[in-house]
Structure 1
Amino acid sequence: MTAESAVHTSGKTSSAETTLEAEKASFFRQPKAVWATAIAAVFAFMGIGLVDPILPSIAVNLKATPSEVSLLFTSYFLVTAVAMLVTGFVSSRIGGKKTLLIGLALIVVFASLSGTSNSVWQLVGFRAGWGLGNALFVATALAVIVSVATGGTSTAIILYEAALGLGISLGPLAGALLGGWKWRAPFFGTATLMAIAFIALIVMLPKTPAPAQKTRLSAPIRALAHPGLRTTAGSAFFYNFGFFTVLAFVPFILGMSAYGIGAVFFGWGVALALCSVFVAPQLQARFGDVKVLTGTLAGLALDLAGIGIAAAVHSVPGIVVLVIVAGALLGVNNTVYTELAMGVSDSPRPVASAGYNFVRWMGGALAPYVATKLGETFGAPIPFFVAAVALVIAIGIALAGRAYLSEHEPAAV
């Protein structure tokens, strides 16, 4: 290496390190509106894993099969995915704050109704309404946090992923603590938390005017024409298939009470949250997005195959350890995928986010039913082997489009 290139490399290293340190410093110095939105996002994301510890209990109380109960995830994510296509259209006309509040109100209503269900099909229907509220809130929350947070887009995304990770970790814990008492209680508990978040946003979030340019309904689909965003979304579809195979099917093979399942997925969620906030940025700065993404996807594929083997030999401790390791890998991937989706194309961030989330949540909608059906038909290990194959496909898509994904990322340290 020449002296000139050494100085140049040192300069890039120093710049990357300085940027990372600046983002760390600004992470906690945010306006109240950011924290209010982030806390509301925590409560919203709790709804994803809330039902996990009580899936077996719901199946028993409502006389349903595991695959029927899995439709609680499928209806939720299917409606979430489709509704993502209209979130930008709505928020660009009424503003971010009103969109957030409508989303929260829908969650309060349908979470409450979920607690009154007398059949699995009623519950599936109410979860679909919950998914509509979730889509309006989640897609808009990311855009709002990015617009009002200090420290740049990367800091805002880390804040958002921190909320996601914390919500996903607390959801199973709340589901276990309340569900161990009555299986209906977690739904009413979530409705209460979302009502609190609704009030907090009314008070703390300033009015967000509608953008000068209104988003067309077709904008998210058109955004996917960009090869970088299309690559990110396509890879995330198969990644989410693996993600929600773990979330939806593992509770049925643990053979534990609601408290035990809640504890396992609390550990999973904590690993996810910590790695999304603290580990992912370090890895990205050191190796770049594409290498981190494909490397952690490969690790996750091996991990899921390991869960399948542990399920085959009925090793519950092995399943528990591998599930928590999966949480760590999922945390890193979540951050990388989100940053790619928000920065890889020239579309406005809310539009890019909507198109990306439409595709990736379809993977989340498909996985729970497919996984439980495979498990019922062919045995517990098979869903995890299929999910491992899905992650290999996700790697293939990312590598095929790596030139598009690498264009936007800064030089690795």
Structure 2
Amino acid sequence: MAEVGLKKWIITITVITAALLELIDTTIVNVALPQIQGNLGATLEDVAWLSTGYAVANVIILPMSGWLGSRFGRKNYFLFSIILFTIASFLCGNATSLWELVGFRILQGLAGGGLIATAQAILIETWPREDVGIATALFGLGAVVGPTVGPTIGGYILEITNWPWIFYVNIPVGILAAYLTYTFVRETPKDGKGMPVDWIG
């Protein structure tokens, strides 16, 4: 059932903000690669895995997100993805070696992929059917703005502090998004059994 009034806008801002966390992180790390490379004593080829691992993890989880949302409930899966993304951001900032950081970036990418797919579904459920186009346009705007402003935000952070803060900046936003999701997003019916998993593909 669609929401109305202030609650509709709170949910809209919440899910777009959560999706922006993932979208900004696709590019924010790029400007920090030289600093990370020098700080962790890595080669240019090695630090490229920070972007590659994140993107591959996104691609892996996106097709599974619909099934996971149905099995565990869309709100639960979205909330879990926000919390996992926030924890992974903290771990990335505390990484002491390149491959530790790559592993945490992959974890962050898995959580981020769930945010993107589920945010769209929640938006469509939140808005009345006749206004779904507006919701889709708002999400599309965020999808365009996120990767665009990522390098700018990253560059500003590096001007005033060091590279771990490109990850730490996600933490307060993630905590707020998790709280608002828990408080305002309506739970959808979940199918405990779900569709069987085709492990072979």
Band of TM-score, shorter chain: 0.7 to 0.9
Q: AA paired with 1:107?
A: F
1:107 Cα offset (Å): 0.5
CA gap of 1:213–1:118, structure 2 versus 1, over 3 A, is closer
Are 2:177 and 1:162 equivalent residues in the alignment?
no
Q: AA paired with 1:112?
A: F
Cα distance in 1 for partners of 2:135, 2:156 equals 31
Q: AA paired with 1:56?
A: P
CA contact (8 A) 2:27 2:150 kept: yes
1:280-295 paired onto structure 2 within 5 Å: none
Hey, what does 1:106 align to over in structure 2?
A: 84
Hey, what does 1:37 align to over in structure 2?
A: 15
Cα distance in 1 for partners of 2:136, 2:195 equals 22
1:213 Cα offset (Å): 9.4
The normalised TM-score by structure 1 is 0.43
Are 2:154 and 1:186 equivalent residues in the alignment?
no
1:36-115 paired onto structure 2 within 5 Å: 36-115=14-93
Q: AA paired with 1:61?
A: N
1:215 Cα offset (Å): 4.3
The normalised TM-score by structure 2 is 0.84
Q: Can you list the C-alpha shifts for 1:106-155, whole angstroms capped at 9, x where unaligned?
A: 11111101011122111111100001111221111111112222444433
1:11-410 paired onto structure 2 within 5 Å: 31-150=9-128, 151-180=130-159, 181-210=161-190, 214-218=194-198
Stretch of structure 1 that moved more, 207-216 or 94-103: 207-216
Cα distance in 2 for partners of 1:217, 1:61 equals 42
1:72 Cα offset (Å): 0.7
Higher relative contact order (CA 8 A, sep 6+): 2
CA contact (8 A) 1:75 1:128 kept: yes
CA gap of 1:132–1:154, structure 2 versus 1, over 3 A, is same
Stretch of structure 1 that moved more, 86-95 or 155-164: 155-164
1:62 Cα offset (Å): 1.4
**Structure 1 vs Structure 2: percent identity of aligned residues?**
25
CA gap of 1:216–1:171, structure 2 versus 1, over 3 A, is farther
CA contact (8 A) 2:11 2:180 kept: no
1:32 Cα offset (Å): 2.8
Q: AA paired with 2:134?
A: T
Q: AA paired with 2:126?
A: V
Q: Secondary structure at the match of 1:51?
A: helix
1:211 Cα offset (Å): 6.2
CA contact (8 A) 1:42 1:164 kept: yes
Cα distance in 2 for partners of 1:34, 1:205 equals 10
Q: Secondary structure at the match of 2:197?
A: coil
1:86 Cα offset (Å): 2.3
Hey, what does 2:5 align to over in structure 1?
A: none
Cα distance in 2 for partners of 1:216, 1:73 equals 32
Q: Secondary structure at the match of 2:114?
A: helix
CA gap of 1:128–1:169, structure 2 versus 1, over 3 A, is same
CA contact (8 A) 1:89 1:216 kept: no
Matched residue count: 191
Cα distance in 2 for partners of 1:138, 1:120 equals 26
Cα distance in 2 for partners of 1:216, 1:175 equals 41
Q: Secondary structure at the match of 2:175?
A: helix
